[in-house]
Amino acid sequence: MRRLFGFMVIAAALLTAPVIAEARYASIVIDAETGQVLHGANQDTRNYPASLTKMMTLYMAFEALEKGTLTLDQKLKVSRRAAGMPPSKLGLKAGRTIKAKDVILALVTKSANDAAVVMAEALGGKETTFARMMTKRAHALGMKRTQFRNASGLPNRGQLSTARDMSKLAQALLNDFPGYYKYFSTKSFTYAGRTYRNHNKLLKNYEGTDGIKTGYIRASGFNLVASVKRNNRRLIAVVFGGRTSRSRDKHIKKLLDRSFTKLAELRIASTPPVPRRKPTATQLALAASGTPRAGATDPSSGLPMVTAAAPLALNANNPAKQAGVTPSFSPGNWGVQVGAFSKPAPAKQAAALAAHSVPQILSAKPISVLSVDGLQGTLFRARLGELNEAGAREACRQLTYMSFNCVVVPPGSS
């Protein structure tokens, strides 16, 4: 009977245990400003958040700071339970105190489990009570598939979240507490004579990263939420289930790279038409293939006629290919051509002027002047390269409205 009873208990536990998808991997990338999803894979699959949980613990702490029920200098008591938490931890001693600010920094950098319990008990009395508070607040933020059972992210079968929900939490931290969000960019933290470095290595090796949190337990794999800002646009990326921290970081960088490119393309596609303008004096002069004097400027726009930063790459031994050649459409190598001239100098100047006229797309793009031998002498084609297809087509659209003679140059064309 005892064996039968034991079996029934185990069976009941299995039946009531939360169901988790077999695939632990999940990822999402969103535009932080609009919430638009730029990439998603299993983004609504429930997984173990591990120490990403501490983002919610910190949200609750920041909310208490805003309300005035907690201060940064407030000394928080370390209980025996907090001191007994397994690593990662600061090694806090029961009966002592630690400032709330140090708890926050310990959660951000070291991801200290003892510090998480200290904060939970300070705000909720008991960690279990605090976990219920966390869950209620998470649901209010739209994190409908998230359930918290503790403040640290240590293993618990009932502690579940999704990539989408964690992106919502990161977005809420940015929007609700911009003044406190800066803590997530802390690269190191010193406490009791020891220095702890932030586990989020993207802060050092991926441009624009300013937060926010890593996480790992064996059941979840290596998790990461990253916030990256470039050219006044911010992306939030979440990855669950990395095999190693290194492969996780490499993967999330690829997702972010692709998503920044996609965001730029979407922004270009939504750009309203540019009003047609009459040709400038410089454009008319270029049509005559004249050579500008040093330091000359466009009288209508004030733009310099030649920019020293634009490299001149002549190719005298590359004859023109005949029409009908099929280009290779490899992504990322498109260009635009803004005229063909009898001399290289006006060709270079035409490309430089085009870059100044559409800076949001062509600024800092390399300029080349391609020489082509024809029946009536050598022509010099003015081009700007290293564009994707969407960027090249949009650049030509805008340049055409500004009376440039512009054609899109697919990859492989000469």
Q: Which residues participate in catalysis according to the annotation?
A: 51, 54, 111
* DSSP labels, 378-393: EEEEEEEEEE-HHHHH
Cα 29 from chain centre = 7
CB atoms near residue 139 (< 10 Å): 14
Cα 385 from chain centre = 25
Which DSSP symbol is given to 337?
E
Q: What is the helix, strand, coil percentage profile of the chain, to 5?
A: 40, 20, 40
CA distances in angstroms from 179 to 152, 176, 182, 210, listed in the order given: 23, 9, 6, 13
The candidate with the shortest Cα–Cα distance to 392, out of 380, 383, 401, is 383
Using an 8 Å Cβ cutoff, are 251 and 223 in contact? no
Cβ burial of 26 (10 Å; 0-12, 13-18, 19+) is buried
Q: Which residue has the tokens 């406190």?
A: 180
Q: Which residue has the tokens 């001149």?
A: 312
Which DSSP symbol is given to 288?
T
| Cβ-based neighbours of 42, under 8 Å, separated by 6 or more | 21, 23, 25, 26, 27, 163, 240
Q: Which residue has the tokens 């051509």?
A: 337
* DSSP labels, 133-191: HHHHHHHHTT-TT-B-S-SS----TT-BB-HHHHHHHHHHHHHH-HHHHGGGG--EEEE
φ and ψ of 75, to 5 deg: -90, 125
- Helix 53-67 / helix 100-108 crossing angle, nearest 10 deg: 150
